[in-house]
Amino acid sequence: MVLHVKHLPAEERRAITVETVIELAAEQNPNEITTAAIAKRMGLSQGALFRHFTNKDAILSAVMEWVAKRLLSRIDKAVQSIDSPIAALEAIFLAHVAFVSEHPGVPRMLFGELQHPGETVPKKMVQTLISRYGARIRKFIEAGKAEGELDSQLDTEAAVSLFIGTIQGLVMQSLLAGEVKQVKRNAPRVFAIYRRGIERKL
């Protein structure tokens, strides 16, 4: 990457910048990633980097845009051809943790942005991502209630929050343990417990 990035078209160089930031976030505190470190990893000068991004916030915004696009695309693809709402929820759950396992820098960046005081552009983008993600979960929970797969008295908003919170908890535990890959191993068993709590009792 270092040898050839200088000669790539602008759009490809921007994409590599995003990937570089995510790689660095997997190795260190995302808040401590500097534009100098990004440029060094890419084999560029900071001046070359700033020809594509006006400042660090612009880089972070591009990262958040990349995350939102890839994650939502991944879960949308996971539910294609699945008719059962509960099966769709499981597919989303497993697709999400697989994405995190492949890109361990992503949750570190998301958690980091949400901890910033005030309203930054990257933070607003994370909040928008969570809202769009929650809307997808809500749709399948409501469908599951309508089709009799889920408890008709289920509190939809609480179920959405628990779904997202369960993934966040799994990810946080794996980060604390220093082994992000364990989130993928634990996910099926954890979802089975979530499922028992929301499905219709026969």
Q: What is d(CA 199, CA 42) in angstroms, rounded to the nearest whole number?
A: 49
Regarding whether 164 and 80 lie in a shared domain, the answer is yes
Which residue range forms the structural domain that includes residue 135? 57-198
Q: The whole model's pTM is what?
A: 0.87
Give me the CATH number covering residue 40.
1.10.10
The pLDDT value recorded for residue 5 is 61
Regarding whether 37 and 91 lie in a shared domain, the answer is no
Low-confidence stretches of the chain (pLDDT beneath 50): 1-3
The pLDDT value recorded for residue 36 is 92
Retrieve residue 28's tokens. Answer: 């260190």
The pLDDT value recorded for residue 118 is 79
Q: What is d(CA 63, CA 37) in angstroms, rounded to the nearest whole number?
A: 16
Contact between 69 and 90 (Cβ < 8 Å): no
Regarding whether 104 and 151 lie in a shared domain, the answer is yes
The pLDDT value recorded for residue 3 is 42
Domain count along the chain: 2
